[in-house]
């Protein structure tokens, strides 16, 4: 993935029809799946974050119309390389986590 901040922002604007300066996080994955880049505008300036996994690949959601909305917990799992799609939620039984 060779695109930088401006190229990714242009892709958000032209490809997705969204405002890259609106405060949303936009996450892009490299072709091999081990690299992601995130752009975010905080109202003051644009930030570019990148992460490369040493082993494995990022679990990527399938996007029917190009956009997938994730919860903060799902995004945290995605950034850690955890398969966030099939997490078993803990249940409480008698005050103990099961």
Contacts 24+ apart (CB under 8 A), 56-63: 56/81, 57/32, 57/33, 57/81, 58/29, 58/33, 58/34, 59/83, 59/84, 59/85, 60/29, 60/33, 61/85
Q: Residue 40, SS3?
A: strand
Q: What confidence score (pLDDT) does residue 49 get?
A: 96
Higher-confidence position of 49 and 97 = 49
User: Which alpha helices (H) appear in the chain, and where do they start and end?
Assistant: 5-15, 72-80
pLDDT in tens, 16-73: 899 999 999 999 998 899 999 999 999 999 999 999 999 888 888 877 777 888 888 8
Q: What confidence score (pLDDT) does residue 40 get?
A: 95
The answer to whether the beta carbons of residues 78 and 33 sit under 8 Å apart is no
Its domain, for residue 50, covers 5-97
Within the chain, how many helices (H) and strands (E) appear? 2, 5
Distance separating alpha carbons of residues 10 and 2, to the nearest angstrom: 14
Per mean pLDDT, which range of 4-13, 49-58, 60-69, 89-98 is the poorest? 89-98
Give the chain's domain count. 1
Q: What confidence score (pLDDT) does residue 51 get?
A: 94
């Amino acid at each position: 993935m060779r695109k930088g901040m401006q190229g990714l922002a242009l892709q958000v604007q032209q490809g997705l029809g969204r405002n890259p300066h609106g405060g949303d996080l936009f996450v892009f994955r490299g072709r091999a799946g081990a690299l992601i880049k995130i752009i975010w505008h905080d109202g003051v300036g644009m930030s570019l974050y990148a992460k490369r996994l040493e082993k494995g690949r990022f679990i990527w959601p399938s996007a029917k119309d190009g956009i997938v909305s994730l919860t903060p917990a799902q995004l945290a799992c995605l950034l850690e390389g955890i398969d966030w799609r099939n997490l078993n939620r803990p249940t409480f039984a008698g005050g103990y986590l099961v």
